[in-house]
């Protein structure tokens, strides 16, 4: 007679659900309402001092929020539809494909929200360009337009660093090379610059002359011509797209640990994070992308059966001397995986 263990035959117990933090939800809702009253009713600025100041541009028209609302409802409806299909799909392969589709849709939706919030809302587009054109906030774009011979520039970069503007003088040339690549892309394909100018003026409802007059409102940014303005817009949109890729990488690196449902929830929260939507023209988006890719590589090493140590993963993704912000040239490499013995 074969005896069976009762522990093997009983069904696994479902984990107890955590109590919902209604108090935290109420506090968050109250803070959102308070922020709306502060900005829309009293029209007060946000931030601290002059350096960390977000100026409010009255009057705020509700029509300016229409593009963002349309994007939010459209992408949200598509994500909900794909989510229901994924939960009802009985085949594992198809269910995984739908999960990846949800993650990709979240990334695209985050980028569309960035463009809607920055390029359409009144007064935001000049600020978007001013961030790149200022020699204090970044300075990389202006430095990129000073390059005449790229090879000579790189050879003499270390020697000339003390003479460069504030931000450039304290960083390797990787960030400047990014803006130089965007500049060269616009010079090789002039249609890109024309498309950037047309999209900026049409979306904001502001003529190029009005934008040129508004940019010096954010000192010390100055108007530097149509070409540099087009480069600023292209670089901003590209940096935003790179930042949105972190949504997909977050899902890829956490789904094996959290499960697909919770990994998608984490990706959705990241896609709607204020730092993702309102600070996308900064080069920090590219740094976040490389950092998330490094974390994803480390997660793969820890969960795979291959002989791979954290040190080997760190060596694959650590910066090399002479490259900026996490080895910018290495970002073009194919996705690396730890090799099996």
Quickly count: other Cβ atoms within 10 Å of residue 100's Cβ: 17
pLDDT at 335: 32
* Residue pLDDT, tens place only, 94-110: 999 999 999 999 999 99
**What's the rounded Cα separation, in Å, for the pair 11 and 21?**
30
Beta strands in the chain (DSSP E): 46-48, 52-54
Q: In sequence order, what E strands does 61-165 have?
A: none
Q: pLDDT tens digit string along 264-297?
A: 999 999 898 877 787 766 777 777 777 766 766 6
Check if the beta carbon of residue 308 is closer than 8 Å to that of residue 283.
Answer: no
In the prediction, which pLDDT does 151 show?
94
Residue with structure tokens 């849709």? 105
Alpha-carbon gap, residue 137 to 172, rounded angstroms: 16
Tokens of 154: 């790189």
Structural domain boundaries in the chain: 65-300
Tell me, rounded to whole angstroms, the distance of Cα 61 from its chain centroid.
26
Give the pLDDT score at 54: 67
Residues in the chain with pLDDT values less than 70: 1-20, 49-62, 119-123, 219, 280-281, 292-293, 295-341
Distance of CA 112 to the CA centre of its chain: 11
Which residue is it, tokens 């960030």? 175
Locus of tokens 């540099």: 228
Helix (H, G, I), strand (E, B) or coil at 48: strand
Cα(232)–Cα(209) distance, integer angstroms: 16
Please choose, from the candidates 223, 210, 264, the residue with its C-alpha nearest in 3D space to the C-alpha of residue 95.
264
The Cα–Cα gap between 139 and 132 comes to 7
């Amino acid at each position: 007679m074969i005896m069976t263990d009762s522990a093997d035959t009983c069904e696994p117990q479902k984990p107890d659900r955590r109590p919902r933090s209604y108090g935290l939800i109420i506090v968050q809702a109250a803070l959102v309402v308070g922020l709306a009253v502060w900005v829309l009713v009293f029209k007060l600025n946000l931030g601290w001092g002059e350096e960390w100041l977000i100026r409010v541009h009255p009057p705020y028209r509700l029509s300016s929020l229409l593009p963002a609302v349309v994007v939010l409802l459209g992408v949200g409806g598509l994500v909900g539809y794909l989510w229901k299909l994924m939960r009802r799909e009985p085949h594992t392969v198809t269910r995984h494909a739908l999960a990846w589709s949800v993650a990709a849709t979240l990334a695209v939706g985050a980028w569309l929200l960035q463009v809607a919030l920055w390029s359409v809302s009144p007064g935001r587009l000049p600020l978007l360009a001013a961030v790149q054109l200022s020699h204090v906030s970044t300075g990389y774009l202006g430095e990129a337009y000073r390059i005449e011979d790229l090879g000579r520039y790189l050879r003499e970069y270390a020697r000339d660093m003390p003479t460069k503007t504030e931000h450039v003088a304290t960083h390797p040339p990787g960030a400047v090379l990014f803006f130089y690549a965007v500049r060269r892309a616009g010079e090789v394909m002039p249609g890109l610059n024309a498309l950037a100018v047309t999209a900026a003026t049409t979306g904001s409802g502001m003529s190029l002359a009005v934008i040129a007059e508004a940019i010096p409102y954010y000192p010390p940014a100055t108007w530097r011509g149509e070409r540099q303005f087009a480069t600023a817009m292209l670089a901003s949109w590209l940096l935003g797209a790179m930042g949105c890729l972190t949504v997909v990488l977050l899902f890829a690196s956490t789904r094996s640990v959290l499960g697909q449902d919770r990994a998608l929830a984490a990706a959705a929260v990241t896609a709607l994070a204020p730092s993702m939507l309102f600070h996308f023209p900064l080069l920090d988006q590219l740094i976040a992308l490389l950092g998330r890719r490094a974390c994803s590589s480390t997660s793969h090493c820890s969960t795979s059966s291959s002989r791979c140590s954290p040190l080997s993963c760190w060596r694959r993704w650590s910066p090399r001397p002479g490259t900026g912000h996490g080895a910018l040239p290495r970002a073009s490499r194919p996705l690396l995986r730890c090799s099996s013995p």
